[in-house]
Structure 1
Amino acid sequence: MITSGQLRAARALLGIDQRELAKRAGLSLPTVQRMEASGGVVRGNVDSLMKLIDALVANGIELIGEGGTSTSGGRGVRLK
């Protein structure tokens, strides 16, 4: 799953705002805003979450899950 912090970091790496992410993911702006406002793990329906993650991956974002390989551990994002 993706956290709200990862979502904000991914947008920052791509240099896009919430409106542009919503457009790229085929979601409404309020949906993206609600996802980012979630505390911790992003909440939403599975279809919307998959659209969001697919859009990030298609734009070069790699999500690092808890326990994933990274030099300092923990969750994160990186640009491929």
Structure 2
Amino acid sequence: MITPQQIRGARAMLGLTQAALAAAAGLSTTALNNIERGTADPKASTLTAIRKALETAGVIFVAENGEGPGVRLKKAGM
């Protein structure tokens, strides 16, 4: 699953506000804020909705490679 740090990083890369990402993922802004701060314990389905919204907007989530999980922008044409 994705981490709060990945969510914040992906959102920042894309220039999305919390409100925009929350709307795209079908969440309240408060819920997304709590998830990003690590003060919520979201369901797997909630994290999946956030991940799909961010991937649709143009990021790829990178699995842990010894230095921790990451996120990057998609290459053009992907």
In which range does the TM-score fall when normalised by the shorter chain?
A: 0.7 to 0.9
Matched, 1:51 2:49: yes
Amino acid in structure 2 at the alignment position of 1:76: G
Structure 2 residue runs without a partner (length 5+): none
What is the number of residues matched between the two proteins? 74
Corresponding position of 2:13: 13
Counting aligned pairs with the same residue, the percent is 41
Moved beyond 6 Å, runs of 4+ = none
Provide, for residues 29-80 of structure 1, a one-character-per-residue CA deviation record: whole Å limited to 9, x for no partner.
11101110117xx830122111111101111110112128xxxx43211010
Cα-Cα RMSD: 1.8
Q: Which amino acid is 2:33 matched to?
A: Q
TM-score (norm 2): 0.83
Output the CA distance in 2 between the equivalents of 1:31 and 1:3.
Answer: 15
Q: TM-score, normalised by structure 1?
A: 0.81
2 CA distance for matches of 1:32 and 1:49? 10
